[in-house]
Amino acid sequence: MGTILVTGALGQIGSDLVPFLAEEYGAENIVASDVKDSTSLFPGIAYRKVDVTSREAISRVISNEKVSGIFHLAGILSASGEKNPELAYRVNLDGTFNVLSEAKKAGVQKVFIPSTIGVFGSSTPKKNTPVETVIRPSTMYGITKIASELLGEYFSKHLGLDVRGVRLPGIISYKTEPVAGTTDYSVEMFTHAIDGKPYACYLKRDTQLPMMYIDDALGAMLKLYESDPANLTRRTDYQLSAYSLTPGILADSIMKHIPDFEVTYSPDFRQKIAEMWPESIDCSLSAADWGFNPSYGIEETVEKMIRNLRMARDGKIAK
Ligand code: SER
């Protein structure tokens, strides 16, 4: 086996996926990469600086590290993408094309690319949204991610590269403090609650979006990555979600543990983005084709987040 390269390793998902893959495949078989020069986040795991907009950098890391599989996580999320659409275009679309092309050229066996509920637009049906439906995103994030899904499918069907991927919902995790997306209010709400601070939420109290806890997302990604290709009726657009959440439901649930937590609502530009996305998505194909079966509900997520954040603040677990 060659190594597994993770691009965008320092982001919200990467910072959890890298140690998860190291546990699964052995630390010596994982290479973490991101645009930063170095990191202390992954002790015992190789880290390389790779800018995915440079095709040469990708080609170099694939051949130097004998890469046989790639988790291509590097991306500019919805809120950051609206602030810098050109950067989002270059990272999300050129970056994905570079990774797919160099992977194909070097004979990489498998490429995994997460997509997002952000591929949907305001004309998409909002409830139990199926995989195939009206898809007309109007954020740069959504436009580049639906194009990336289709590129992955193209490389898979026409060029023989094994590309797989999922449309992720909002991910709730504790290791990084994400600020680039629209669903990140959830993590911010937890960190404010733990630190005893009031939280001004940038979405309205009743804005409903599909979400899941990070451990379920990691487990699902690995399951799809390892699945027998004969069982896959889709390639890059399997949908994942464990529940639909609103800021109000999350606040109430956190208050069961931290009763004096205060939340106010002052929607900003992210409210418009959230309103374009589905309230719930249909994950039945993921369940049927490769056994997607999340185990964290809202209550379990809240308990785990509060416990992990408290332990991280006390220095008892890695932050
Ligand atoms: N978490 C992403 C965002 O909010 C959605 O996939 O941009």
Mutation pick for ligand 1 pocket among 92, 141, 212, 276 (CB with most ligand atoms within 8 Å)? 141
Query: What tens digit of pLDDT does each residue of 16-36 get?
Result: 999 999 999 999 999 999 999
pLDDT for 319 equals 61
CA distance 230 to 215: 26
Ligand 1 binding site (Cβ under 6 Å of any ligand atom): 77-78, 116-118, 168, 170, 181-183
Q: Strands, E, within the chain: which ranges?
A: 3-7, 30-34, 46-49, 67-72, 110-112, 115-116, 162-164, 166-168, 170-172, 199-201, 209-213, 238-239, 243-245, 263-265
Q: Which atom of ligand 1 is nearest to the CA of 170?
A: 1
Closest atom of ligand 1 to 12 CA is 1
CATH architecture label of 3-170+212-239: 3-Layer(aba) Sandwich (3.40)
Using one digit for the tens of pLDDT, what is the confidence trace for 81-113? 999 999 999 999 999 999 999 999 999 999 999
Q: Give yes or no for a contact between 136 and 123, defined as CB atoms under 8 angstroms apart.
A: yes
Topology, domain 171-211+242-279+296-313: UDP-galactose 4-epimerase; domain 1 (3.90.25)
Q: Are strands 162-164 and 67-72 parallel, antiparallel or unpaired?
A: unpaired
The ranges of the chain with pLDDT < 50 are none
Q: Whose CA is nearest to atom 6 of ligand 1?
A: 116
Query: How many of the other CB atoms lie within 10 Å of CB of 2?
Result: 16
**Whole-number pLDDT of residue 315:** 85
Per-domain residue ranges of the chain: 3-170+212-239, 171-211+242-279+296-313
Catalytic residues: 141
pLDDT of residue 116: 98
Rounded to a whole number, what is the distance in angstroms from the first to the last CA of the chain?
30
- Dist. CA 126–CA 108, nearest whole Å: 37
Q: Which residue minimizes the CA distance to atom 7 of ligand 1?
A: 181
